């Protein structure tokens, strides 16, 4: 204010001096008084405009209102899930190895070929078996002839019973040996036990094959199952037939609702888990064995419950609280409510006590209010 008065006097002095007139001190005081009056009127107008502007911003109220966003509380069903990681496994998969030792004579399939059940995949060399079979057949012809002769003689009461029995036994032994050699010959032919796709061919023509050594892998991709190891503490929460939300990191947009087909009966003592299996169809062939799968298993549900955004819950020495907008006459006021929160899933929390249906929960702007703060609902 002092600076304004000095400025006015200076301007007046400059004006008068420029006019070349001599002004008395009384005239200067009169002019100063007029300027002060004008300044007072201008300040009053400024205050009035500021008041109107403030009222306009606060919806016509003269109080300072804090802008907030609210959510009307409704009764819903709250579901809580836990996650378990699993892997995709083929229902039908065969690691094929020969039933006998032998050199590989030929391999009739390549990796990626589709094969049918019973189709020949490879053959082993059978030269020794073929020779043995021929020898036994020759011996069997002679043994059969001798047996027939002895039989006719025995029926005529000629010769001893021992000779007849020896001939019969020799013939039977050769027949059994021939059957064994033929079975071994069949084992030299390796066939597919299932319909599927040849995934691996581990041996080539000319190599030695042996029982227990995988030669060819065949996988059927039509039906798969997901197997997961679930923590022992959830053993009472998972039952056969429960529907599980199944997702795959390889297919972020894919989600499937699949029932539990099997629950393991043994807890692994090393990691305290039990097995859970889910059958899935793979008609499109999109799932591959050993793919990672994520099981979202529902372990808790509460109907007619109030759920709120977890972010609005605050805490002080008395406990956890939040703010609700309540109407007082023509204004909305923030009210502090202490609550008992239950489980949380993703960004929502189940409230056990402290709130009721149709209350207006502050979900934005709640950090700028306290109990009794006047609100402007956006």
Residue reference for tokens 């909305």? 332
CATH number at residue 292: 2.40.30.170
Q: Percentage of the chain surpassing pLDDT 70?
A: 88
Q: Residue 305: its pLDDT value, please?
A: 92
pLDDT at 16 over 70: no
Residue 63 has pLDDT above 80, yes or no: no
Which is it for strands 374-377 and 66-72: parallel, antiparallel or unpaired? Answer: parallel
**Average pLDDT value for the chain:** 83
Same structural domain, 266 and 349: no
Q: Are residues 174 and 265 in the same domain?
A: no
The per-residue pLDDT for 190 is 86
**Domain-terminating residue out of 179, 209, 239:** 209
pLDDT at 51: 66
One domain, residues 18 and 31: yes
- Residue 26 shares a structural domain with residue 42: yes
What SS3 state is found at 263?
A: strand
Nearest CA to 5 out of 40, 41, 36, 44 is that of 36
> What is the tens place of the pLDDT at every residue in 96-122?
988 888 888 888 989 889 999 989 998
Per-residue model confidence (pLDDT) at position 181: 67
- Angle, vertex CA 213, rays to CA 211 and CA 216, nearest 5: 110
C-alpha span between 150 and 346 (Å, rounded): 91
Could you tell me which residues are beta bridge partners of residue 348? 309, 345
- Distance (Å, rounded) from C-alpha 332 to C-alpha 285? 59
Helices 161-187 + 127-155 axis angle, to 10: 160
Q: In the predicted model, is pLDDT for residue 330 greater than 70?
A: yes
More confident residue, 338 or 284: 338
**Residue 237 within a domain:** yes
In this predicted structure, the answer to whether residue 57 has a pLDDT above a threshold of 70 is no
Residue 57, in any domain of the structure:
no
pLDDT band at 62, cuts 50/70/90?
low
How does pLDDT run across 217-272, given as a tens digit for each residue?
A: 999 988 899 999 999 999 988 999 989 999 999 998 888 899 999 999 999 999 99
Q: Which domain, by its residues, includes 30?
A: 2-52
Task: Look at residues 278, 301, 324 and tell me which one is the last residue of a structural domain.
Answer: 301
Same domain, 370 and 297: no
Give yes or no for residue 21 having a pLDDT over 60.
no
The DSSP annotation for 270-282 comes to: TTTEEEEEEEEE-
């Amino acid at each position: 204010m002092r600076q304004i008065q000095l400025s006015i006097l200076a301007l007046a002095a400059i004006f008068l001096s420029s006019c070349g007139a001599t002004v008395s001190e009384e005239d200067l005081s009169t002019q100063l008084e007029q300027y002060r009056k004008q300044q007072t009127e201008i300040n009053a107008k400024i205050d009035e405009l500021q008041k109107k502007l403030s009222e306009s911003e606060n919806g016509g109220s003269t109080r300072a209102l804090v802008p907030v966003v609210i959510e009307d509380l409704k009764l819903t069903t709250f579901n809580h899930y836990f996650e378990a990681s699993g892997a995709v496994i083929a229902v039908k998969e065969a690691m094929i190895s020969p039933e006998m030792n032998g050199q590989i004579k030929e391999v009739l399939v390549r990796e990626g070929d589709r094969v049918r059940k019973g189709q020949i995949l490879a053959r082993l060399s059978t030269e020794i078996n073929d020779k043995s079979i021929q020898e036994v057949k020759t011996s069997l012809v002679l043994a059969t002839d001798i047996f027939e002769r002895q039989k006719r003689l025995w029926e005529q009461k000629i010769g001893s019973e021992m000779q007849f029995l020896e001939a019969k036994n020799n013939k039977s032994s050769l027949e059994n040996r021939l059957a064994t050699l033929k079975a071994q010959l069949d084992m030299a032919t390796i066939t597919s036990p299932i319909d599927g796709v040849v995934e691996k061919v581990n041996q080539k023509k000319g190599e030695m094959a042996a029982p227990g050594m995988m030669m060819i892998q065949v996988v059927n991709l039509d039906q798969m199952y997901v197997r997961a190891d679930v923590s022992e503490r959830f053993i009472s929460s998972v039952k056969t037939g429960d529907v599980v939300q199944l997702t795959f990191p390889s297919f972020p947009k894919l989600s499937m609702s699949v029932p539990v087909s099997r629950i393991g009966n043994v807890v692994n003592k090393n990691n305290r888990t039990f097995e859970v299996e889910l059958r899935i169809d793979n008609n499109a062939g999109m799932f591959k064995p050993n793919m990672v799968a994520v099981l979202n298993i529902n372990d808790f549900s509460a109907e007619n419950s109030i759920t709120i955004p977890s972010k609005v819950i605050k805490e002080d020495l008395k406990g956890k609280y939040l703010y609700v907008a309540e109407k007082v006459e023509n204004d909305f006021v923030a009210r502090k409510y202490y609550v008992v929160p239950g489980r949380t899933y993703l960004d929502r929390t189940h409230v056990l006590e402290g709130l009721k249906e149709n209350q207006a929960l502050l979900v934005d702007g709640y950090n700028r209010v306290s109990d009794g703060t006047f609100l402007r609902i956006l």
